[in-house]
Structure 1
Amino acid sequence: MIKRFILLLVCFTVVFGVFLPQDIGLAANGTVTIAENTVNVRNGPSLSYQLVKQVKKGEKFTIIKEQGDWIQIQLSAAKTGWVANWVITKTTNGTTTTGSGSSNKKSAEANTDQLRVRSGPGTNFRIIGYLNKGQAVSVTDDNENWVKIAAGFEEGWVAREYLDFNNKSTTTSKEENNKKSIDTGFVTDTLNVRNEPSTTGSIIGKLAKGTSISIYSKKNNWIEIKYSNQSAWISADYVQMGTENQQTNPVNGTIGTVTASNLSVRSDSSLNSAIVGSITKGQKFTILDEKNNWFKIEYTPGNFGWAAGWYFNKDKATTPELAKDSKVTILHNGTNIRKDPTVQSNVLLRANEGESFQISSVKNDWYEITLPNGTKGFIAGWLVTTNGTGPGINKQGAEAYLRSKTIVIDPGHGGIDNGATGAGGTLEKELTLRTAYLLSDKLKAAGANVFLTRSSDSFLPLPSRVRLASVHQSDAFISLHYDSNLNRSVRGMTGFYYHSYQKKLAEYVYNSTNAQTRLKSRGVRTGDFHVVRENQRQAVLMELGYLSNSAEEMTLTSGQFQENAATGIYNGLARYFKDK
C-alpha cells in the first residue's frame, strides 16, 4: 500500500513539474473568448490563409502570440491556429478588451464598378445590390472565394477577387498592399500560371476555363494577376477582357411585374443615377434590355429608364419565341432523354456527349427537344449547354427548396487518416474540408440547417459519422472524397449509394455536380461504403476526382473547381428536394 502511495506521489510530482510551467507560461499571455456566432480559424495571420477550424461564440482559447491584427491560439494539445482580433474579446492580466482591432481592420473596398452583392456565396444566389469602385464595406465572414460584407443596404456576399482588403498581413509589402487592379477578365481555356512573364517561368498553378481574374499590370503579351496571395503571370492569349457575367443581354420582349410597393426608375443602370420616375407594385412592363440585373423599361409613353431587376418577377408565359438555331448539346455519355419533364419518367433515348438537339420549348428545369425520328422528348437543363438564342433554364430560387432542410456534410478522412495523397502531395483530408466549408456556407445562406461531421483536421470513426445523420434526423447526408488509383491516367468523378432509397439523391447530386465541373463522368453506382451502407437516412458518397492524376490534381485544388463542386452539390440538393 505504501509503495503504491509513493508511486502515485512520484507520478503526480512529475506531471505537475512538467506541465504546470507550460500552462503558467501560456496563461501569462492571456486568453481569448470568441465574440461572434461562428469564427474562422486559419493556419496563418491573414484572411488569405487556409481554414483549419470553425469555432463558436463563447469558446475560450489560450493566446500563444500576436502578429499585427491576428492572434495565434492553442486549439488543442498539438494544434494551433490564427484568429482575427476583431472577432474576439481578449483577457490579459485580468483586463478584458473587446474587438481589439481598430475600426478599419476588418474593412475592404470594391475594386470594380457595379460589383454584384448576393444573398449567399455563389452566383446562383439572388442579387440584392451593387457596389461601386472604391466603396468601403465591413467584412463579417468569408471563405476562399466569397466574402460576407455589411454595406448600406444589408449584409450580403461578394466575390473575393473584386475586393481590396485593408487588413493585409504584416509580412506583405506596403507597395503590394497599395497595388490596385487596372482591369478584369476571364480565362477562355485551361491556363498555366507562371512566376514570371515568360514561357520559361516556373508553373505554379493552373486556372480553369471561365475563371474570373483581376488584372494588375501587362507586360508584352503577359498579364499580372494575384495567385495564392502572390504576384503571378498568365498569357494574354487566353484571357478575354471584361466580366463575362456582367455583359448586357437583350431580353427580347419579356414581361416583368413590379414586386416593390414603390420603385424608382433611374436614368441609367446604377443606384447612383438620377431618378427620372417611379412605378408601383403590380404594374407590368416589357423589359427592353437588361444590364447587371437592371431592366430598361418604357415607364410612361415615350419615356425610358432603368429599374432594379431584383424587384421584378418575369412572367413565364411570355418566354420569347424560339429561334430556329436554338439547340442543346449533351455534356455526358449516356444522358437520359425522357418522355416527360421528370426524372421518374420513362427513358426514350440515351444520348452521348456532343450530340445536339433542337429545342421546342422549356418546362421548368427541362428542355423539350426534337429527336431524330421526329418525336419529342425532355432533357434536364443541368445536363446540357445551349447555343443559339433560345431561353435558358432559370437556376435561381434554390433557397426555397433548401430552407429548413437538415444537411450533414461529411468531409472524408481527417487527423491520423490522410486519405489519398495526390501526385503533387495534396492530402485528401485537407481538400474534402475545403469543399465542405464552401458547401456549408452556401447551404447556410439558403436557410438550411448544416452540420459537419468534422470542422478541423480531426479523426472521427465511420460509425460516429453515420450516427450524426441519425441524431440530427438529416434530410441528406453528403460524404465528400477524392479518389486515387495506381494507374495515374485514371480520372473522373463517381457517385455512390448503397440502398435503393438513396439512388435518387445520388443521381441528382452527381448529375448536377458533374455538369457544373465538367470532369469525366464515371457515373452513379452502388458502393459498399460504411457511411452509406449503415446509413438509414438519404445519403450519397461523392468521389470528386482523382488526385493520383497529376493534371486532374491541379484542377481539383484550384479555387474555381472547388467553387464549382460546391455549387453543383448545392444545386443538386435543391433539385432533389424540389422534385421529391
Structure 2
Amino acid sequence: MLKKKLTFLICITLCLTWLGTTSTTHAASTAITVTTDYLNVRKGPGLDYGVLTTLNKGGVYLVLKEEGEWTQIQLKNNETGWVANYLVNKNEGESPSQTSSAERQNQEINSSDTGRVTANSLNFRAAPSLNADIVGKLYQGTHVNILSQRDDWVEIQYGGQTGWISVEYIQLPEEENHIETNVQTPEDTTLTILHNGTNIRKTPNTQSTILQRANKGETFRAIRFENDWYEIQLPDGQTGYVANWVVSDQSEQMTQSTSSEENNSEASNNDLSQYLKNKKIVIDPGHGGKDGGTTGTRGTLEKELTLETARHLFDKLRAAGADVTLTRQRDKYLNLPYRVNVANEQNADAFISIHYDSTKDRSVRGLTTYFYYPWQKELAVNIHSAVIDETKMNDRGTRFGDYYVIRENNKKAVLIELGYLSNPTEELHVQSNQYQESAATGIYEGLGRYFKE
C-alpha cells in the first residue's frame, strides 16, 4: 500500500514538473517583433491564405501558437492572424505593450477625431493595402471617424464598419480646423463646359444618375456651389450638378489672354460630336481575367483600371452618336487574336487599346501612344496630343510599337499607355475620377479631331 502511494506521488510530481516547464517555455516566447515594413498578416499558416492586414516594422505582438514556419499572433479587436517566422524576431519574455516608438507614433490619433473625404468616390478596404477586400464606398464630403494612421493609410469607422483609406484623400482634423465649409451662392455666375460629353448629374457625386450630357462651349447659370460641385439651372427648368473641374466660370474666362479666348471660342464652336456620329469605334481594355497586366506599387491591377477608363470613353462616344464596341465589358480573359478580330468583324473606323505602364525605375512617369504602320500614325498623333492637353501628363511622345493588337490589325489602330503604375505618385493620380474623366475626354477629342480632318 505504501509503495502504491509513493508511486502515485512520484507521478504527480513529474506531471507538475512537466507542466511547469511547458508553461515557462510558453511564457518565455510571449511576443514577436516585426522586422520588415508592410508585413502581410494572413488568415492561415500559408501563402495561399488571404491577407487580413499589414504590419509596420517594429511592431510587437502576442504569440498564440506556432505551426511549421508560421506564427499565429494576437491583433487588436480580438482578431488573430498568421505571419511568416523569417520576417519576425522572437522576444523572450517581452510583452506586446513594449511597442516601438515608431509603431506608437502611427497609432497616435484620437479615436474621437473625424475627417472629411475629398475624393469623388473612394473605396475603403479591410486592410491598408490596395490588395485588401473592399469594405464599402465613400463619396466626397462624407465625414468619418478616424481610429488610427499607418504611413499612407488611415483607419476609419463609418456606418458601423471599419476600414482603411489613403491619407491622400481625406482631410484630417488639423486641416479641417483651418478650412471653412465651402458653400457659396454665386451671383450671376455663368459656367462654360470644357469637355464634350460632360455629365450633368442629379446629385453632387460621380455615382449619381446622369440627367443629361453637355458639350464643350455650352453655358449654364450657377445656382449654388458646394464641395467642388456646382448646382446649375437646366433648360427644362430642372436643376443638376456638374463638377467644378470640368467647367470654367466668368471670372476665369475674364483673366485669360486674348489668344486663349480666341482658342476657346474656336473650340466651343466646333462640336466634335458631329464628326464622331455613326463612326464605328472599338475600345479594347487591356488584359482581363487571369491576365492582370502590371500591378502598381500600391497593388493597383492594370486590368481593372483599363476597364474603368474604357467605360468612361464608351459613355462619351455613345452620347456623341458613335457606334461603339467594347472588346470586354467585365473581368474576362481574351486572347490577342480575338481582340483584333472584333475590329475586323465590326469593320472599325478606329481601334483603341487602353493600357497602363510599368518599369523598374519608379521615377519614370508619363504617357505614351504607339502605332505600328505609317497609316496608323495620324490617329495616334491626334489622340496623344489631345490626351496630353486634357491630362497635363508628362509627354513621352508618339512612337512605333511592335504590339500584336496594332501589328496584326488592318484597321486604324493605336495602343495608349496612360501612365506608370510603377510610380507611386502617378499610380494614385491615375486612379482618381478626375484623371479618368480627363483621359477619356482626351481620347474622345483626339478621335473627333482625327475624323474631322
Which is greater in Rg?
A: 2
Which structure shows the higher helix fraction?
A: 2
Which structure shows the higher strand fraction?
A: 1
- Higher relative CO (Cα under 8 Å, sequence separation at least 6) belongs to 2
Structure 1-normalised TM-score?
A: 0.39
